Amino acid sequence: MRAIEAGLSENLMLELKSVTEDEPIFRNGVLTPKGRQLLGKSLGAFANSAGGLLIIGVTCAKDVATSVSPIPMFQKAAASLVGQIGELLLPRHDGIEVQTISSTGDSGYIIVQVARSERRPHMSFDHRYYKRAGSSSFVMEHYDVEDAFRRVAAPDLHLNWRLSRGDADEKNCRIHLLFEMTNLGSSTAKHVSFSILKFTQTMANFDSGNGFLVGRAAGRTTVTALEQVLNPGQSMPFHLATLLATRNRAEPWMIAASTVRSASIDWEIELSAENMLPKPGRVTVTGEQISSWLPP
């Protein structure tokens, strides 16, 4: 009732369903054929879109909750739904969770949480593909289905690095950390980027330019390729970081406040691209590796 008083309304990621006598979703605590069709449509639309929440037992008008209609024998109904979820979508979607909230007596509500699927598109029980738009579920057009199947193939990025000496004299030496990105996946990578988590600029500097944008926020540095795309099996140079080593006369080379031999890089990183889940990784460079590129 608090949700109704607050004006709970359906949206892209929320759908409300009531228990009606004309087209019951459950009968005597068992999912009906009509219920299989209705829930298959809703679950498929969420899985094929951004994911969402389905609440069964709430009546709405013009997308706004108006009253509650608790489900009789709701625990049995939830068990029936759980037992048939695997048959409602093809391929099976493992990112669906069912919970219950009791009302009075043996009645209550069923809450279904649907995660966005990385295996989309999913075909529903009625052999159709659905998607979510606004507060409703719609049959996907043919081109939508084709595009969804193409997106199943995702990029798989891999980052390599090497060191190189830049400008150097007796007191200053720049060491470049050169990156190369490779796409090991079966789909073209767009909007390619890598992020360094908890990055500080005491060891190395990144600068925008040459087709790359460097962004910094909350201790995180992200390097993004502005226009380049990476086709399957292709590699490309992916920006560089610069380490500045300095020394005075016969003193040892220093980077920031550390001697080069005691300095090291150990970055936790994430690689990402359009339609690709962030891929964690690590860049580790020892002080000995850096020292090998310095003048004697």
Residue 296 domain-assigned (yes or no): no
Residue-level pLDDT at 153: 67
Residue-level pLDDT at 1: 53
pLDDT in tens, 182-209: 999 878 898 899 999 866 555 677 777 7
pTM: 0.54
How many residues appear in the chain?
A: 296
Listed residues 152, 184, 214: the one ending a domain = 152
Listed residues 152, 185, 217: the one ending a domain = 152
Strands 193-196 and 265-273: antiparallel
Residues 204 and 285 in one domain: yes
Residue-level pLDDT at 74: 96
The token pair at 250 is 């016969």
Query: Which helix (DSSP H) or strand (DSSP E) does residue 150 occupy?
Result: helix 142-152
Sign of the alpha-carbon torsion through 22, 26, 29, 30: positive
For residue 79, give the CATH number of its domain.
3.30.950.30
- Of 222, 230, 46, give the one whose Cα is nearest residue 154: 230
Residues 117 and 201 in one domain: no
For residue 205, give the CATH number of its domain.
2.60.40.10
Residues 148 and 94 in one domain: yes
Residues 205 and 136 in one domain: no
- Name the residue type at position 102: S
Mean pLDDT by 10 residues, the chain (296 residues): 68 90 87 94 94 93 88 96 95 94 94 90 94 93 85 82 92 92 88 81 69 82 88 90 88 86 88 86 91 90
Residue 199 domain-assigned (yes or no): yes
* Residue 272 phi, psi dihedral angles, 5° rounding: -150, 160
Residues 113 and 210 in one domain: no
How many domains does one find in the chain? 2
Listed residues 110, 125, 152: the one ending a domain = 152
Cα torsion through 70, 77, 33, 115, rounded to 10: 90
> What does each C-alpha distance from 288 to 142, 174, 279 come to in angstroms?
58, 16, 28
The token pair at 238 is 């992916």
Residue-level pLDDT at 200: 55
Residue 81 domain-assigned (yes or no): yes
Local structure of 5: helix, strand or coil: helix
Residues 61 and 191 in one domain: no
Residues 140 and 214 in one domain: no
Residue-level pLDDT at 2: 63
For 76, the domain range is 2-152
Separation between Cα atoms, residue 39 and residue 119, nearest integer Å: 19
Residue-level pLDDT at 93: 93
Residues 164 and 261 in one domain: yes
Residues 146 and 165 in one domain: no
